[in-house]
Structure 1
Amino acid sequence: MNKFNIIKNKQEYWLVDQVRKGDVSTELYIHGLADILEEWTRLEIGYLSLLIDEQFESWLLEKKFHKISSIVEYTRKLNDLPLTNDQIVCYSLAEGLMDDQKYAELYELCRSGSANKNTKQPIAQVMSSLENELGPEWRKHCYYFLKDGAFAGISIPHIEMGTEDEGRLFYFGVVPELRGQGIGAQIHRVSMELLKIFHATYYVGSTDVNNANMIKIFEKNGCQLRDKKGIYKIVR
């Protein structure tokens, strides 16, 4: 029974996300967490980041985790997305019109000034983790968007690990000078369309509880609140 999804980046970090299942008791989740924590300690991994229901907070704090923030998750089925006539064009990195370094620079620009409280990894580490988490064809998932010929933002649609049709965005962002103009909602809507290329039937997105702008984008594009989790971290 898969109680957690785990992304392992060699010796640097583990990203652990609780899989909500109604037939899994609190005790079974704690037992699974204890096993994960024991292995993480034994293998001397740099840090472990955990997304989980906040009911486990006391246990986690006793185990020397510290709380980063809380996130909300929104979801939407993809079979009834509205037609769009947005004047936005997009390209994937796999098309070869942009090199990896330029994409990294655009990624860094888009994530500047983020309202999310989770600690940002260095952009070089983020880029190196893309292949590890998305596979050898990771460039096919990396999209950038242009509005009137100028860079507007990026998104990285993919299928969530351990599922066949759950669409996620590894990252989604807008360049600072175009924020507050409705561009984010347009890019987000197109990104959900792109998820269908990878055979997603529904979308799940998450953001910090304090990121009011992203929550507005979710709601504007028909996403419904599904869950709330805490973000916890432990460092070796």
Structure 2
Amino acid sequence: MNLYNRIKKQNEYWLVDQVKVGGVSKQEYEEAFDRLLGEWKEEKVGYLSLLMDTVHEKNLLEQGFRKISTIVEYTRKLDETFSPAPGISVEPLSDGGMVDSDFAELYERCRSGSANKNKLFTIEQVMESLENELGPEWRASCFIFRKSGEPVGLSIPIIEQGTVDEGRLFYFGIVPEWRGKGYGTVFHRLSLNLLKGIGAATYVGSTDEVNHHMIGIFERNGCRLRDRKGIYRIDR
């Protein structure tokens, strides 16, 4: 039984996310995590970043983890298709309308000023992780939102690892000068269409509990609160 999803980069990091499974006890989760932590220590990896239910927090802090923040998860069924937004175009990076270096610059602008506290990577590491985690065709998963031809946001819809039809956004963001104008809700709604288009039946989105703007977007687009998890980190 898989109780933790893992993304690894050799010698640098493990990103670990607890998988909620019905009928599994707190003790079983902690025993499974102890085995996972032992593997991480044996491999001498730089750090481990963990998303886990806060009921385990005392145990984690005793093992040397520090708490970074708390995230909230929202979800909804993808049982409708939203209308296109007038004046907004959605362009896959794979179409060739933007080179990778310009996409990296757009990505960096979108994540600047974020309320999310868990900032792990430089933009160079982010771009490297896209190919490592999404595969050689990663550009087909990256979409640029344009207003009057100007790139103003981006979205990267994916199917969650280990699932058949759970949709996630690897990243979603808007450039600072277009925030606070209602476009976040519009772009998120269009992202839900993109997820449905790749076969997702449900959507799960997460953000820092202090990111009230993103939480408002979730709620305006029909998402409901599903879970809270702590973000914890340990370094070698």
**Contact map agreement 2:142 2:156 (CA 8 A) in 1:** yes
After superposition, give the CA deviation of every residue in 1:39-62 in whole Å (9 maximum; x if it has no partner).
111111111111010000000001
Equivalent residue of 2:91, what SS?
A: strand
Residue 58 of structure 1 aligns to a residue whose secondary structure is helix
1:50 aligns with 2:50: yes
SS of equivalent residue, structure 2 residue 207? strand
Which amino acid in 2 is paired with 1:233?
A: R
Q: Which residue in the other structure is 1:235 paired with?
A: 235
| CA deviation profile, 1:117-149 (whole Å, cap 9, x unmatched) | 112410000110111111221111111110122
Identity across aligned pairs (percent)?
58
The corresponding residue for 2:124 is: 124
Structure 2 residue matching 1:119: 3-state secondary structure: coil
C-alpha displacement at 1:32, in angstroms? 1.1
Match of 1:100 in 2: 100
Asked if 2 retains the 8 angstrom alpha-carbon contact of 1:152 and 1:183, the reply is no
CA separation in 2, counterparts of 1:150 and 1:83?
21
Give unmatched runs, 5+ long, in structure 1. Answer: none
Paired position in structure 2 for 1:172? 172
The one-letter code of the counterpart of 2:58 is: S
TM-score (norm 1): 0.97
In structure 1, the residue matched to 2:37 is: 37
Task: Specify the SS of the correspondent of 2:115.
Answer: coil
1:27 to partner: Cα distance = 1.0
Residue of structure 2 in register with 1:225 after alignment: 225
Cα distance, 1:151 vs. partner?
Answer: 1.4
C-alpha root-mean-square deviation of aligned residues, in Å?
1.0
Q: TM-score, normalised by structure 2?
A: 0.97
Q: C-alpha distance in 2, partners of 1:72/1:92? A: 28
2:215 aligned residue: 215
Following TM superposition, the consecutive aligned residue runs of length 4 or more in structure 1 with deviations greater than 6 angstroms are none
Select between 206-215 and 14-23 the one with higher mean Cα deviation.
Answer: 14-23
